[in-house]
Amino acid sequence: MRSAAPATSVLPTPPHADHAAPSPASIHVPAALAVLRLAAALEPDIVEAMIWYRSVPIAVLDGLTAAELVAQGRATAVLAFLRAAIAVDAAERRIPAPTDVRVGSATRSAFA
């Protein structure tokens, strides 16, 4: 009795057929994590950082959210925006708050 030959496909097998192709969303995961890590420097509450990432439009970046920009492959623009915001935040923290200045017997505001 003859044994049956194994069934073969007539379609070519793509390379790495045993591995699923990455989903479009997973391609952007490293970029999204980089953006969220940098955003945490401004907003340490991760829930608030996620809300910002998904929901808050960035006016100087075409009014798109960080998530939309990352999905478009524009994570570097979001990272540059965050770096600039962090620099401004750091500069503002170094400037002392306005205080009252005594001039003779009168008290005047430093910015009057």
Q: What is the mean pLDDT of the chain?
A: 78
Q: pLDDT digits over 13-63, tens only?
A: 555 545 555 555 567 899 999 999 999 999 999 999 999 999 999 999 999
State the distance between the two ends of the chain, measured CA to CA, in whole angstroms. Answer: 106
Contact indicator for 53, 35 with CB cutoff of 8 Å:
yes
Report how far residue 13's alpha carbon sits from residue 62's, in angstroms, rounded to the nearest whole number.
43
pLDDT of residue 71 exceeding 90 = yes
Q: What's the pTM?
A: 0.64
